[in-house]
Amino acid sequence: MKEPIFSSADDTLETILEKINTPEDLTSKLQVYTMFRLTRASEINPINMFIQLKDPELWSHIKKEFYPSFFDKAKKFLKL
């Protein structure tokens, strides 16, 4: 059984990224990112910047899922 991941008041940017990268698959990583988006809404910009610097591949997936460009939205709307 997988251990649950929690958000605590003592988390730093490094520990948050570590927790996001803990799951093996991308879907689970995005779920953990969503948890931090909800529990640390006021701190999401520094978290995003840290992810962009430390893990660009993960950021590209997060960006497509949570911050799509106009063209990504159009593709999704037209189902391309």
- Please report whether residue 8 resides in a domain: no
- Please report whether residue 31 resides in a domain: yes
DSSP state of 4: P
- Tell me the residue range of the domain where 58 lies: 13-78
- Please report whether residue 30 resides in a domain: yes
- 17-44 pLDDT per residue, tens: 999 999 999 999 999 999 999 999 999 9
Q: What is the pLDDT of residue 58?
A: 96
- Please report whether residue 1 resides in a domain: no
Number of domains present in the structure of the chain: 1
**What pTM value is reported for the model?**
0.85
The pLDDT > 70 percentage for the chain reads: 99
- Please report whether residue 4 resides in a domain: no
3-state DSSP assignment of residue 8: coil
| Distance from C-alpha of 52 to C-alpha of 24, rounded to nearest angstrom | 19
